[in-house]
């Protein structure tokens, strides 16, 4: 038995589910799981279908669906898997460590193509996993030069996603545009609280009783892109900034792990500045 994954995004219309189900049935596929969502304010339809049955002609199925759906529909049948991922880091190890371990033991989930660091701190660790590490310094360097150097490497690997695993640099609008909805960042606060720099220091000053982390797609507006998933943990008055950082790292790695897991299973659609997550 083969399994076929179908992703659909199009304008909403009456009878869409019926048309989709009919095409799938005609291909002798059974719908094992179907999740759909209608954004009524935008009149947009999103669906994710897991089907099983005889081997399907992917191109034909895609074509048939597109024909039956409103103009401009985006239909994907059996998207690439595992996703190729390039990880961008600075000095902190916790998120990278979690990703590399997963890459090592769960090769069907993700495929880490390379790690790029603007510092060398994580080089030997990455080497230990036999994953290529590139040191691209941004010191005394214009951002466009820095980004050009990164782009050259990235073009070689053609990653599906860029994961900013505590990459403490701000990317240019031009760079971000090249990877629209394909750059995932982990921000160390429950956004929109404490956007920008030093969120744990901000949290300490404010005396909050929760800290958290947010995984989101990167857009040109810092810390304002579509949120994929976020989580909080309880803290109290005894936490210093350093203790918040340490406790926060556990949440950061869990949240980024979850986001990568969702994206690698094609469970996340972007819809303007929001996401639809078919968990």
Residue ranges binding a second copy (CB under 8 A): 14-18, 20-22, 24-25, 28, 30-38, 40, 53, 93-94, 97-98, 101, 104-105, 125, 128-129, 190-194, 206-210, 212, 226-232, 236-238, 250, 254, 257-258, 271, 273-277, 279
Q: Look at strands 44-53 and 29-39 and give their pairing.
A: antiparallel
CB of 195 closer than 8 Å to CB of 224: yes
Q: Shortest Cβ distance from residue 277 to a second copy (Å)? A: 6
Q: What span, in angstroms and rounded, lies between the C-alpha atoms of 271 and 237?
A: 39
Q: Quick one: 18 or 80, whose CB is closer to a second copy?
A: 18
Q: Which residues pair with 268 in a beta bridge?
A: 277
Q: What span, in angstroms and rounded, lies between the C-alpha atoms of 253 and 231?
A: 11
Q: Would residue 223 show up in a list of annotated catalytic residues for this protein?
A: yes
Instruction: Determine which one of 39, 109, 223, 236 is catalytic.
Output: 223
Q: Quick one: 18 or 172, whose CB is closer to a second copy?
A: 18
Q: Quick one: 156 or 221, whose CB is closer to a second copy?
A: 221
The alpha carbon torsion through 260, 261, 263, 264 (nearest 10 deg) reads 110
The distance between the two most distant Cα atoms of the chain, rounded to a whole number of Å, is 63
Non-local CB neighbours of 9 within 8 Å, separated by 6+ positions: 44, 45, 46, 47, 73, 74, 269
Q: Quick one: 66 or 202, whose CB is closer to a second copy?
A: 202
Q: Shortest Cβ distance from residue 132 to a second copy (Å)? A: 16
Q: What span, in angstroms and rounded, lies between the C-alpha atoms of 50 and 164?
A: 29
Question: Which one, of 172, 164, 181, 189, lies nearest residue 272 by Cα?
Answer: 181
Q: Quick one: 127 or 174, whose CB is closer to a second copy?
A: 127
Can you say whether the dihedral through the CA atoms of 203, 207, 213, 217 is positive or negative?
negative
Q: Shortest Cβ distance from residue 125 to a second copy (Å)? A: 7
Q: Shortest Cβ distance from residue 3 to a second copy (Å)? A: 13
Residue written as token pair 């996340």: 268
Q: Shortest Cβ distance from residue 146 to a second copy (Å)? A: 26
Instruction: Please give the positions annotated as active site.
Output: 223
């Amino acid at each position: 038995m083969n399994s076929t994954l179908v992703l659909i995004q199009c304008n909403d219309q009456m009878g869409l589910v019926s048309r989709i189900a009919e095409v799938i049935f005609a291909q002798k596929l059974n719908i094992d799981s179907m999740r759909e969502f209608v954004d009524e304010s935008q009149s947009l339809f999103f669906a994710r279908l897991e089907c099983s049955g005889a081997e399907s002609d992917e191109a034909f199925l895609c074509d048939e669906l597109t024909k039956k759906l409103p103009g401009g529909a985006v239909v994907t049948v059996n998207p690439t898997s595992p996703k190729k991922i390039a990880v961008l880091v600075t000095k902190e190890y916790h998120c990278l460590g979690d990703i590399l371990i997963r890459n090592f033991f769960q090769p069907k989930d993700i495929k880490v193509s390379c790690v790029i660091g603007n510092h060398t701190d994580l080089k030997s660790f990455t080497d230990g996993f036999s994953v290529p590490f590139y040191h691209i310094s941004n010191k005394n360097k214009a951002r466009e030069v820095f980004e050009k150097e990164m782009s050259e490497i990235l073009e070689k690997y053609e990653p599906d996603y860029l994961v900013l695993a505590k990459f403490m640099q701000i990317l240019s609008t031009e760079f971000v545009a090249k990877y629209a909805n394909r750059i995932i960042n982990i921000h160390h606060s429950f956004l929109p609280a404490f956007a920008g720099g030093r969120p744990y220091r901000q949290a300490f000053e404010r005396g909050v009783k929760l800290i958290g982390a947010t995984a989101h797609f990167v857009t040109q507006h810092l810390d304002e892109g579509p949120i994929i998933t976020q989580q909080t943990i309880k803290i109290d008055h005894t936490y210093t900034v350093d203790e918040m950082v340490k406790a926060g790292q556990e949440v950061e790695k869990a949240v980024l792990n979850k986001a990568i897991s969702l994206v690698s299973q094609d469970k996340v659609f972007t819809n303007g500045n929001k996401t639809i997550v078919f968990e």
